[in-house]
């Protein structure tokens, strides 16, 4: 797998694709509302990406950025194979990936003005950074989503103390701090063990979703719409559960049967508990289908994607 995230004009987003899958995505673009791909590293790094634009019958415009506006380059090529080679080399961080293409700096116009420093009192800054840190540790948000949270978290009426530019500056700083933290992590983390358990449950016909919706009411109402036709049950945790895990309180899992008796729900709970334990996680559950399954103790070190 390539350590990248690929987003298309269609809104489709793929994480950690193979080189063959990336090549297929490049060859696909060109139709209406499907003309470009933006590729970021995993974890995402500010001002680092590669992207391609193509309309059917035309050339391919390939761009890459490695820092500020003065590090943005462009080249036009006639077919997809050169694009595929360059994007794959970039994804693999091969030192010679740019060789063979006539890259030129891209003029992005006048530079925007400097961003004024945040004018927040100590309480406001603490509340804002505490919330951003919680979402960062949760590990599911993109930088764009974090920037939106930063802009909106302290809003009161017409008072908007954080501008878009200030939000991006703050988020990028905190994001890079978290990326630096996770470079010291070794081996498999508990969130990765959870993914392994959820993958096994999916294969057993139990729909398993991470960080799904905002609350239990929404989760219970929407989980069926994400399930395969032959799924017999579900398990998920919502964003409030993620926040609790990020604060060190363990993770609560909600589960149930799409059809059937409480005995079926109990069977699903047993399957969930077994999959978690087989993945190396500690489980608290008394066997009652009306009680949540809790993973505790839990070391919530979720690696960022972005």
Per-residue pLDDT of the chain (306 residues; tens, 9 = 90+): 999 999 999 999 999 999 999 999 999 999 999 999 999 999 999 999 999 999 999 999 999 999 988 999 999 999 999 999 999 999 999 999 999 999 999 988 776 678 999 999 999 999 999 999 999 999 999 999 999 999 999 999 999 999 999 999 999 999 999 999 999 999 999 999 999 999 999 999 999 999 999 999 999 999 999 999 999 999 999 999 999 999 999 999 999 999 878 999 999 999 999 999 999 999 999 999 999 999 999 999 999 998
85: which strand partners? none
| Whole-number pLDDT of residue 107 | 84
Alpha-carbon distance of 121 to 40, in angstroms, equals: 35
pLDDT reported for residue 292: 97
Residue 294 sits at φ, ψ, to 5 deg, of: -115, 130
Shared domain for 239 and 266, answered yes or no, is: yes
Residue range(s) defining the domain that contains residue 290: 190-295
Q: Can you give the pTM of this predicted structure?
A: 0.91
Could you tell me if residue 254 is inside a domain? yes
**Among residues 39, 38, 83, 37, which one has the least CA distance to residue 59?**
83
For the chain, how many structural domains are there in total? 3
DSSP label at residue 98:
T
Tokens of 286: 């008394």
In a domain, 115, yes or no: no
Residues 172 and 201 in one domain: no
Q: Encoding tokens for residue 190? A: 């508990």
Does residue 135 share a domain with residue 96? no
Do both 196 and 288 map to the same domain? Answer: yes
- Same domain? For 171 and 211 the reply is no
Cα separation, 270 vs 276, whole angstroms: 10
3-state DSSP helix/strand/coil % of the chain, to nearest 5: 40, 20, 40
Is residue 17 located within the same domain as residue 77? Answer: yes
Query: Does 137 map to a domain?
Result: yes
At 111 the pLDDT is 66
Question: Whose structure tokens read 């298309």?
Answer: 8
Contact 106, 73 (CB under 8 A): yes
| 207 domain residue, yes or no | yes
Beta-carbon contacts of 92 under 8 Å, excluding residues fewer than 6 positions away, are 2
185, with CB counted inside 10 A (0-12, 13-18, 19+), is exposed
Mark whether 221 and 276 lie in a shared domain.
Answer: yes
What is the number of H-type helices and E-type strands within the chain? 9, 12
Q: Does a structural domain hold residue 306?
A: no
Helix (H) or strand (E) holding 64: strand 60-66
Residue of 257, 250, 264, 262 whose CA lies nearest to 290? 262
What per-residue confidence (pLDDT) applies to 108? 80
- Token couple for 159: 């008072």
Regarding whether 164 and 70 lie in a shared domain, the answer is no
pLDDT attached to residue 141: 97
Q: In whole angstroms, what is the distance from residue 30 CA to residue 47 CA? A: 25
C-alpha–C-alpha distance, residues 9 and 33, integer Å = 6
């Amino acid at each position: 797998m390539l350590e990248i995230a690929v987003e298309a004009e269609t809104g489709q987003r793929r994480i950690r694709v193979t080189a063959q899958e990336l090549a297929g995505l490049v060859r696909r673009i060109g139709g209406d509302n499907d003309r470009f791909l933006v590729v970021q590293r995993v974890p995402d790094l500010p001002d680092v990406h590669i992207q391609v634009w193509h309309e059917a019958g035309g050339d391919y415009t390939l761009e890459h950025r490695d820092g500020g506006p003065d590090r943005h380059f462009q080249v036009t090529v006639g077919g997809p194979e050169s694009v595929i080679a360059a994007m794959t080399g970039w994804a693999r961080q091969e030192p010679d990936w740019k060789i063979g293409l006539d890259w030129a700096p891209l003029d992005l116009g006048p530079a925007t003005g400097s961003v004024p420093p945040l004018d927040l009192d100590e309480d406001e800054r603490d509340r804002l950074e505490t919330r951003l840190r919680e979402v960062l540790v949760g590990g599911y948000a993109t930088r764009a989503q974090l920037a939106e949270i930063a802009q909106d978290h302290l809003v009161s009426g017409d008072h908007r103390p954080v501008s878009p530019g200030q939000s991006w500056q703050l988020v990028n700083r905190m994001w890079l701090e978290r990326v630096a933290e996770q470079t010291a992590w070794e081996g498999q983390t508990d969130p990765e063990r959870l993914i392994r358990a959820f993958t096994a449950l999916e294969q057993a016909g139990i729909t398993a979703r991470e960080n799904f919706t905002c609350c239990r009411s929404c989760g219970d109402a929407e989980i069926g719409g994400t399930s395969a036709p032959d799924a017999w049950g579900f398990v998920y945790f919502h964003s409030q559960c993620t926040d609790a895990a990020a604060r060190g309180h363990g993770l609560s899992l909600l589960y149930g049967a799409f059809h059937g008796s409480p005995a079926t729900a109990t069977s699903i709970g047993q399957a969930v508990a077994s999959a978690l334990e087989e993945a190396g996680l500690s489980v608290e559950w008394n066997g009652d289908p009306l009680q949540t399954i809790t993973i505790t103790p839990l070391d919530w070190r979720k690696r960022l994607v972005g």
